[in-house]
Structure 1
Amino acid sequence: MTGWLRRRWRLVVVRGESMAPTLRDGDRLVVRVGRRPAVGDLVVFRARDVVPDADLAWMVKSVHRLEPDGAVTVRGDNTHSQDSRHFGVVPREAILGVARGRR
């Protein structure tokens, strides 16, 4: 049972202020792995897949638009956030999952 749970759900800790005021540094998110995002969802994705020189392994952003191929356009809540306006769309393969709650 534990292995199944780990494949379906992950706990992710937010680092940085790009999603403030919605999320703050240190917030913990419960992420549903493999879930397809919808507009408005918070998605967690591999940072290096969209920003090759990123210091972070993962990024959390809000889905702004869905593309026909499953990619998403994302936006940060903070006005100084790095998001799809800077690095383009996030490919479907880079998305870990959708945040379903906070702990």
Structure 2
Amino acid sequence: MDLTVLGPGTALGAALITGTVLRRTLVVVTVRGGSMEPTYRDGERVLMRRGGRYAVGQVVVVRQRHAGPPSPAPNQAVAATDTAQEWMIKRVAAVAGDRPPPGALPEPYATTDGSVPPGALVLLGDNTHNSYDSREAGYFPTTHVLGTVLRPRPRPTYA
């Protein structure tokens, strides 16, 4: 059995590459608003993985979509990222091929067969009384999803 020992320069280079890949894959976002309460509260930080496949029950960060005139609820949960985009954090209620839950979509978005079309998601906030989601905006394109939330990030504690 042969073992290859990496020198300190090679190990540092590998660590930098790994760190760069992780920074492009994993993102910390801050929840703004109350549409995902009690699961995620305003100001809470969550760890998110870019891209991926989406399943019912997952929480995703998605680009805000305006249906008709852009007038979202004022207290939506927006994920604050380093871009000028408006991002929201929502739970996947239905994926392509699924039947949306009753009342999850406004009338114009109903399809003839009643299932979610390919490339679309039905997204809902956990706080149904305070959430701008598929009930107002209809389907969200999967191309507008930034990624999936992995877990809440603990708040730092200071001694």
TM-score (norm 1): 0.89
How many angstroms apart in 1 are the aligned matches of 2:131 and 2:33? 10
Is it true that 1:63 corresponds to 2:80 in the alignment?
A: no
Written as runs of structure 1 = structure 2, the 5 A alignment for 1:16-55 is 16-47=33-64, 50-51=65-66, 53=70
Which 5+ residue runs of structure 2 have no aligned equivalent? 1-17, 79-85, 98-117, 154-159
Q: Which has the higher strand share?
A: 1
| Corresponding residue of 2:29 | 12
Higher relative contact order (CA 8 A, sep 6+): 1
Q: Secondary structure at the match of 1:7?
A: helix
| Corresponding residue of 2:4 | none
How many angstroms apart in 1 are the aligned matches of 2:54 and 2:92? 7
Give the root-mean-square deviation of aligned CA atoms.
Answer: 1.7
Percent identity reads 42
Is it true that 1:88 corresponds to 2:138 in the alignment?
A: yes
Q: Stretches of 4+ moved more than 6 A in 1?
A: none
How many angstroms apart in 1 are the aligned matches of 2:119 and 2:56? 12
| Larger Cα-atom Rg | 2
Q: Residues 32-55 of structure 1: CA distance to partner in whole angstroms, max 9, x if unpaired? A: 1011111000010111xx127468
Give the AA of the match of 1:13.
Answer: T
How many angstroms apart in 2 are the aligned matches of 1:5 and 1:64? 28
Which 5+ residue runs of structure 1 have no aligned equivalent? none
